[in-house]
Amino acid sequence: MNRLGWRRWKSRVMVGLMMVAVVVAVAPLVMILATLVARGAGSLNLAFFTQIPVPAGETGGGVAHAIVGTLLIVGTAALLGLPIGIGAGIYCAEYPTARLAVVARFVADVMNGTPSIVVGVFAWTLIVDVQKHFSGLAGSAALAMLMVPMVLRTTEEMVRLVPHSLREAALALGYPRWRTSLSVVVRTCLPGIVTGSLLAIARIAGETAPLLFTALGSQFMSRDLDQPMAALPLTVFTYATGPYDDWHRIAWATALVLILVVLVLSLLARLATRQRFGSRG
Amino acid sequence: MSDQRSPAVEARGFSFSYGPRQALFDISFALDRRAVTAIIGPSGCGKSTFLRSINRMNDLIDGHRYGGDLLVEGKSVLGARLDLVSLRRRVGMVFQRPNPFPKSIFDNVAYGAKLNALASRQELPALVENSLKQAALWDEVKDRLDQPATGLSGGQQQRLCIARALGNSPDLLLMDEPCSALDPIATQRIEELLVELKERYSIVIVTHNMQQAARISDKTAFFDGGRLIEYGVTEQIFTAPAVERTEAYITGRFG
């Protein structure tokens, strides 16, 4: 075999190996989705989205309380966590060598690697144990704590991707540094920040452990963040570990709803990125 | 108003260093108003550093230190309490590579004027049109002002950057090798533009291209090793340089 043929053969082998890796990486995702649809789709109907659970043994009912709970808890967590995470991320990117930024970056990396149940226990000590009752707000606080380091790091990366020449252009036009940061640098990478935020929201929407000791879960519709509250992951956990077949079916269906919520968020993230970046040529 | 007789830019024993490195040594010369002054010299000679001192862009460098004095239209720009915003409004800058904001063509030109409140909302379109006309770009973009600036060609982008700088109605335009990323035709258009613009603005251009300096500048300064080696009327610098080093550089024996 001549040299060219040998190189072509090597190239084909390497491409083949990488394709195998891609298939192996994607396969679990496809299998999860397929299983959820197969086991859960049958239980989905209008009542599932609009009603609260019925007592064990009866058929019907839904998980409206958990859908509302997840929206409230995650929404509040985003309100708490996004401004802090994005603000800190911009600071770390714009003043990369400041002592505060170095510390924040290190803490964020450690926090990103911290198991979420640890954060849950911490939120329990900080809020639930002090207030002497579980609450949706404690759940939001725990989720916000998980969000901040994620958002901080993605924001920082996005801001750093903005070319230095754009900063110079704004400064040379007479923009003060803070306005350059906000109106040029952040505006330029806003799609990236939005994407990072949506992905972080999608991540925490599926978190179960931090909610176990904080929001606790509930069988009833609750819109009061000061009270225990249901959430989709908690509902999956409760029903999946329960003794009844009917409960297991609800758990599958709830899991499917949860995945769909996360999927929609991810798609929104994609859309946000594409629309804004499309104009960059 | 600043004194009409003082030079556009005047350096008096000016020096610049950052950290332990000194980049510019004891530079003294005065640049004419309403003229194009070219600064030439080999890579690393300090010509860009000098240019970026004039609008204090070098403040971005850690550990920067200025020495001597540097004046724009008779006023020192080195004071610690100097208002950088108003300095940079009066001194526009165009960079090596076109760097339009990822916004519409209109917004790019209106950017500085909006910040500095130079025009009301009603006056903005006229200001944008005027700036684009001065930058010889109006006819090419007048029908697509709302299109993203990043869709323009490199040469058009650079003229847009000139229009953006003009939108601030500066007294002085600094150009840091504005044609180094452009093809010959786009370069020629910018050069023609500069010759027109010097009727109204004082222009300092740093260039690697000696033919360019010879074509468009009224006076030329030759920098080497962080020092001003020779400064004079362009024609004299290129035909009968007084310093041997200048002649060596111009004839291509080094640099």
In a domain, B154, yes or no: yes
| DSSP letter, residue A256 | H
- Say whether the ipTM exceeds 0.90: no
3-state helix, strand, coil in chain B (%, to 5): 35, 25, 35
**Residue from B48, B54, B99 to probe the interface with A (highest A Cβ count within 10 Å):** B99
The beta-strand segments (E) located in A65-207 are none
Which CATH number does the domain housing residue B132 bear? 3.40.50.300
> Is the pLDDT at A279 greater than 50, yes or no?
no
> Is the pLDDT at A280 greater than 50, yes or no?
no
B37-60 average pLDDT score = 94
**Contact criterion met (CB < 8 Å) for A174 and B86:** yes
B106-129 average pLDDT score = 86
The listed range with the strongest mean pLDDT (A147-151, A177-181, A240-244) is A147-151
**Contact criterion met (CB < 8 Å) for A173 and B88:** yes
Interface residue A179 vs chain B (CB under 8 A): yes
pLDDT of residue A278: 43
Angle separating helix axes A116-123 and A136-161, nearest 10 degrees: 130
Query: H/E element holding A19?
Result: helix A3-40
pLDDT digits (tens, 9 = 90+) for A21-60: 999 999 998 999 999 999 998 888 888 888 888 887 777 7
Overall number of domains in chain B: 1
In a domain, B2, yes or no: no
For chains A and B, count residue pairs whose Cβ atoms are closer than 8 Å: 66
Q: What is the pTM of this model?
A: 0.79
pLDDT digits (tens, 9 = 90+) for A74-92: 999 999 999 999 999 999 9
Residue with tokens 């010889």, as numbered in its chain:
B136
* Residues A213, A128 contacting (CB under 8 angstroms): yes
Alpha-carbon gap: B243 to the closest alpha carbon of chain A (Å): 35
CA dist., res. B247 & res. B253, Å (int): 9
CA dist., res. B6 & res. B31, Å (int): 9
Structural domain harbouring B223: 9-250
For the beta carbon of residue A220, count every other beta carbon within 10 angstroms.
11
In a domain, B1, yes or no: no
